[in-house]
Amino acid sequence: MRDVKPVKVVLLGAGTVGSQVARVFLEQSAEFESRSGRPLELVGIAVRDLEKERPGIDKALLTNDPMGLVTRGDIDIVVEVIGGLEPARGLILAAVKHGASVVTANKALLAEYGDVIFRAAEASGVDVYYEAAVAGAIPIIRPLRESLVGDEITAVTGIVNGTTNYILEQMTSHGVAYGDVLLEAQKLGYAEADPTADVEGFDAAAKAAILASLAFHSQVRLTDVSREGITSVTDGDIAAAADMDCVVKLLARCELSESGTISIGVHPTMISNKHPLAGINGAQNAIFIESRYAGELMFMGPGAGGAPTASAVLGDVVTAARNRVRGTFAPGGSAYLTRGITPAQEERSRYFVSLLVDDEPGVLAQVAAVFAGRGVSLQAVRQGEDASGLARLNVVTHVARNGDVVQTIADLEQLSRVHAGIKIMRVEGA
Amino acid sequence: MRDVKPVKVVLLGAGTVGSQVARVFLEQSAEFESRSGRPLELVGIAVRDLEKERPGIDKALLTNDPMGLVTRGDIDIVVEVIGGLEPARGLILAAVKHGASVVTANKALLAEYGDVIFRAAEASGVDVYYEAAVAGAIPIIRPLRESLVGDEITAVTGIVNGTTNYILEQMTSHGVAYGDVLLEAQKLGYAEADPTADVEGFDAAAKAAILASLAFHSQVRLTDVSREGITSVTDGDIAAAADMDCVVKLLARCELSESGTISIGVHPTMISNKHPLAGINGAQNAIFIESRYAGELMFMGPGAGGAPTASAVLGDVVTAARNRVRGTFAPGGSAYLTRGITPAQEERSRYFVSLLVDDEPGVLAQVAAVFAGRGVSLQAVRQGEDASGLARLNVVTHVARNGDVVQTIADLEQLSRVHAGIKIMRVEGA
């Protein structure tokens, strides 16, 4: 018999991620003991359905009373993989109050209540780790929280949603329309029956908020993120991007403005094929960091899936267990500043603008004059024929205020020789 | 006046990295206070030459007595950027004994005495951080030490030496011979006057030892690393690689063998252009991780330079200061196992073998029979003409025991129709 007190772990949720966490936990328990300094014991799993068959999991561990589990008082670590705001928020705060450290993969919760949870954890002297909440198995939270804490991060750009990245890649490589690829992705299980959270950019926006909060030391919420999904991306946009040696990606981007506010948004973006993010395909995720001293860094890897997410969750569990054994805990957040959010119209970017115009002399001059009138300077202009017999004008601007570009579009819409349906998209990379 | 006790930091060494560390430290001190919870104060810098002009640095901080500095007894953090085994080792052990945490960028020291230093730090209850020792500003130590601690790493492959990566890239893109590129690199300051540490693979081997020790939880030393530099890479090798849609890179690779031993080596390697490491150019570094649950991950960024290295060093300083403020410290190493090192002849890899043979019927059959006789199976064979009128046979093997391949070469050298100068190189990627 050992006289060493084990580190007691409970698991909330046993879906795709939860069941993998339980499986790997049992497979690796001897290793985890060596790495943390004490045996780790899984003492309970909260599930919705007690009757469901769960191969490899002892039925005696199951309960449908998660609140009872986290408030037992003898729990060291609570792993929350239920997702969503409630009951996850209430359970985590109760766990923290009862002295348990928390490991969560819940991006929506952290993007909304991160500051509340970190403050509660600090007050109770417990850990909150959440490596799995952003970019699956890619270690990004610790690099931001610790490795780069001696630097000044100026921008973080990520491909953080595998579903939309897969859809855009299929549209690009096979010339298939958005709707068809979505149907196929749903059939293959790459997209949910209700794909809103992915395709409208909510999932990416929550992750962007978490990254920005860490990078810029100021709590950013989901509602701070300007958000645009991929549902209106057309094959025409993708062809226009290819024409400029770019690809269309759904980028989550946050950067520090010159005045110290945080510009943060999720937008379909044309990105140069020379940029390392352009090559990130399929269900892969990647995070590209720009910093004052370290320069440019990129991290890439699998962004989702049961086993990669379990890897990230269990890295946190072992770290939290190690901290328990050493009688310490780490700060969850780093939001010691209160920065403003850059208003939408003050955001700065390069833009692609595509217009259908009458194929007549003088139209280009007239269009160019509208841009100039709003102070938006042009980097490149391409004119081509459209199938309809009209001319297609594709314009790329230099870095411009979003408000000025929006005004330019409104002005252009007034011109009789410019047809309805002006298309606009952000541009990143050389 | 503040009544908060500052965290006292001393710096050993004020060369390229040290002077950047001092500069960024002074620029960012207000931020560092917010991030760690207490003001950080640079109280001393040990230098060799007290008289040298050092712009921006208060002369009163300078001393030429590093041992006196680290044994003062009131120092919280010692930053060692002198490099080399002595006096660095003695100074670090003295610092630890006197209760200071240590931040070091010293790869050679850690590859030789990592276990000794980590044990001493654990006994004294202080931190040892060394993010800058491997791959410059790329966060790789914390991801291995913490984020992936719930996973099982099976292999780590890195481009961890910018000088050799630059030389090989120039040879590849401009078709220039090794010696000419080296001369040019020395002129530009990308290579040292004595380039041995870089071009013979010693620098990469020390980094490989550190990565393997963390990844496989067993202390690996520099002398455990099989090592081959780039001095014998020819334009012919690079052309042969291109012919197979590969590039030649100096790869540091460590992997866990089936029997649990560690295979570790630094070798010029032909790597498929489809592999993400193939695109890492110039002074960039990258680390590619294969793991059981997370799958494949890659980290890339600047591998050297004063500012990036200072970023990594100061991330460690702020983390160590934060730990001080919280009264805690982190484990430096994770070597709870004692794994063997795979003997050279038992290492397994795919190999490229190039032979000059008489251009006669039956030679290919004879050569193929020699491979088969040693149990080495062939994946691809290409025969072409050589300028000399002989035939050039380029062979790629399936994964084979190194010992069998070495025997095969010895056998081939006995054949009268095979000419002297058989070339052999490892192959990675699909």
Residue of A nearest to B136 (CA): A294
The complex's ipTM works out to 0.94
Number of helical H runs and strand E runs in chain B: 14, 17
CATH architecture, range A141-302: 2-Layer Sandwich (3.30)
Which residues have C-beta within 8 Å of that of residue B258, sequence separation ≥ 6?
Answer: none
Q: Work out the average pLDDT over B395-410.
A: 97
Tokens of B26: 């002074």
Give the side-chain half-sphere CA count within 13 A for A342.
24
CA distance A412 to A399: 19
Is residue B96 very low, low, confident or very high in pLDDT (cuts 50, 70, 90)?
A: very high
Count of Cβ atoms closer than 10 Å to residue B126 Cβ: 25
A301/B314 CB distance under 8 A: no
Which residues have C-beta within 8 Å of that of residue B273, sequence separation ≥ 6?
Answer: B245, B246, B247, B279
- What percent of chain A lies above the pLDDT cut of 70? 99
DSSP state of B218: B
Between CA B376 and CA B380, with CA B379 as vertex, the angle to 5 degrees is 120
| Per-residue CA distances from B7 to A309, B10, B69 (Å) | 37, 10, 15
B299/A295 CB distance under 8 A: no
Spot the catalytic one: A8, A107, A207, A249: A207
| Per-residue CA distances from A416 to A306, A358, A362, A413, A420 (Å) | 55, 9, 13, 8, 10
Tokens of B407: 């025997």
Residue in the block written with tokens 């973006």: A269
- What percent of chain A lies above the pLDDT cut of 90? 89
Q: Work out the average pLDDT over A59-64.
A: 95
Q: Are strands A77-80 and A101-104 parallel, antiparallel or unpaired?
A: parallel
Tokens of B104: 């070091």
Which residue among B28, B294, B315 sits closest to A302, beta carbon to beta carbon?
B294
Q: Are strands A128-129 and A153-159 parallel, antiparallel or unpaired?
A: unpaired
CA distance B172 to B160: 18
Which residue among B139, B305, B336 sits closest to A148, beta carbon to beta carbon?
B139
pLDDT in the model for residue B3:
60
CATH of domain B346-428: 3.30.70.260
Q: Coil, strand, or helix at residue B329?
A: coil
CA distance B288 to B304: 18
DSSP state of B389: S
pLDDT in the model for residue B1:
45
A207 classed as catalytic: yes
Contacts of A147 in chain B (CB under 8 A): 131, 139, 141-142, 312, 315
The H or E element spanning position B35 is: helix B29-36
Residue of A nearest to B217 (CA): A35
pLDDT in the model for residue B207:
98
pLDDT tens digits for range B253-308: 999 999 999 999 999 999 999 999 999 998 899 999 999 999 999 999 998 889 99
pLDDT at A233 over 60: yes
Q: Work out the average pLDDT over B117-124.
A: 96
CA distance A426 to A75: 48
Query: Nearest CA of chain A to the CA of B331: how many Å?
Result: 9
pLDDT tens digits for range B32-54: 999 999 999 999 999 999 999 88
Secondary structure (H, E, C), chain A: CCCCCCEEEEEECCCHHHHHHHHHHHHCHHHHHHHHCCCEEEEEEECCCCCCCCCCCCHHHEECCHHHHHCCCCCCEEEECCCCCCCHHHHHHHHHHCCCEEEECCHHHHHHHHHHHHHHHHHHCCCEECHHHCCCCCCCHHHHHHHCCCCCEEEEEEECCHHHHHHHHHHHHHCCCHHHHHHHHHHHCCCCCCCHHHHCCHHHHHHHHHHHHHHHCECCCHHHCEECCCCCCCHHHHHHHHHCCEEEEEEEEEEECCCCCEEEEEEEEEEECCCHHHHCCCCEEEEEEEECCCEEEEEEEECCCHHHHHHHHHHHHHHHHHHHHCCCCCCCCCCCECCCECCHHHCEEEEEEEEEECCCCCHHHHHHHHHHHCCCCEEEEEEEECCCCCEEEEEEECCEEHHHHHHHHHHHHHCCCECCCCEEEEEECC
CATH says A7-136+306-325 is which class?
Answer: alpha beta
pLDDT tens digits for range B155-206: 999 999 999 999 999 999 999 999 999 999 999 888 999 999 999 999 999 9
Q: Is the dihedral of CA A340, A343, A344, A346 positive or negative?
A: negative
pLDDT tens digits for range B214-251: 999 999 999 999 999 999 999 999 999 999 999 999 99
pLDDT tens digits for range A103-120: 999 999 999 999 999 999
What is the average pLDDT score of chain B?
95
Contacts of A24 in chain B (CB under 8 A): 150, 293
What is the average pLDDT score of chain A?
95
- Decide which of 3.90.1300.10, 3.30.2010.30, 3.30.70.260, 3.40.50.920 is the CATH code for A348-428: 3.30.70.260
Q: Work out the average pLDDT over B108-135.
A: 96
pLDDT higher for A282 or B418?
B418
Contacts of B148 in chain A (CB under 8 A): 139, 311, 315
What is the domain partition of chain A in residue ranges? 7-136+306-325, 141-302, 348-428
Contacts of A281 in chain B (CB under 8 A): none
For the entire predicted model, the pTM comes to 0.95
Q: Residues for chain B: how many in total? A: 430
B150/A313 CB distance under 8 A: yes
A328/B331 CB distance under 8 A: no
